[in-house]
Amino acid sequence: MRKTGRAVVCGEDSVFAGAVSEISAMVSEQCFSDLKAPVVRVGSPHVPMPFSAELVKHVVPDADPVSAAVRQVMA
């Protein structure tokens, strides 16, 4: 992060009140002066996690939103 000045935090949990939000907050607080762009969070939408494997595929982020977030933060 210190080399590029950018960060993308990805996880399977929600981007609200979860590990993804806590890690992004810590990065923002501790590395604020090194950041060249806001920290981008990628995670599940704020919905209950389904039990069906087929439905989980639609909730948990895959490569598409992660690569879009990386492109966004590097722009």
pTM value is 0.82
5 to each of 2, 21, 36, 38, 74, how far by Cα in Å? 5, 18, 5, 9, 10
**62, 44 contact by CB (below 8 A):** no
Q: Which CATH class is domain 8-69?
A: alpha beta
Per-domain boundaries in the chain: 8-69
pLDDT score at 66: 94
**3, 36 contact by CB (below 8 A):** no
Is 3's pLDDT higher than 90? no
Please state, in angstroms and rounded to a whole number, the distance separating the CA atoms of residues 59 and 47: 8
State CA 25 to chain mean position distance: 11
Confidence of residue 63 (pLDDT cuts 50, 70, 90): very high
pLDDT score at 41: 95
pLDDT tens, residue by residue, 12-59: 988 888 899 999 999 999 999 999 999 999 999 888 888 999 999 889
